[in-house]
């Protein structure tokens, strides 16, 4: 299970040779941590449950189709790495 400090943080990724940084705003919703992030002018919620299962929800599914799945995966991986480091101590 991930434990989140509930403080905003940012993650840096390299996607297709371009360095990018994303601001992540966590919110606790029961047993689910929801991470809010804006990607290419679209709002997404990354969620991880108490068993470590991830899902991504787009605020506007039609508009979110322009966001590449590989970019979403790269951001999810960076968030996961950040949370693992946070929980390792």
What is the residue-level pLDDT of the chain in tens, covering all 89 positions?
A: 444 556 899 999 999 999 999 999 988 877 777 899 999 999 999 987 777 778 899 988 888 899 999 999 999 999 889 888 876 54
Structure tokens at 87: 């929980």
Structure tokens at 18: 């371009």
pLDDT at 87: 66
- In 3D space, the residue among 28, 29, 54, 56 whose CA is nearest the CA of residue 42 turns out to be 56
- pTM of the entire predicted model: 0.81
Structure tokens at 35: 């991470």
pLDDT at 38: 94
Residue 43: CB atoms within 10 Å: 14
pLDDT at 33: 77
């Amino acid at each position: 299970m991930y434990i989140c400090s509930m403080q905003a943080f940012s993650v840096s990724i390299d996607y297709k040779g371009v360095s990018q940084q994303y601001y992540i705003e966590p919110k606790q919703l029961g047993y689910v941590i929801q991470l809010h992030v804006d990607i290419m002018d679209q709002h997404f919620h990354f969620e991880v449950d108490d068993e470590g299962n991830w899902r991504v929800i787009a605020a506007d599914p039609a508009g979110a189709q322009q966001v590449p799945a590989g970019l979403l995966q790269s951001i999810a991986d960076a968030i996961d790495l950040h949370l693992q480091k946070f929980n390792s101590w």
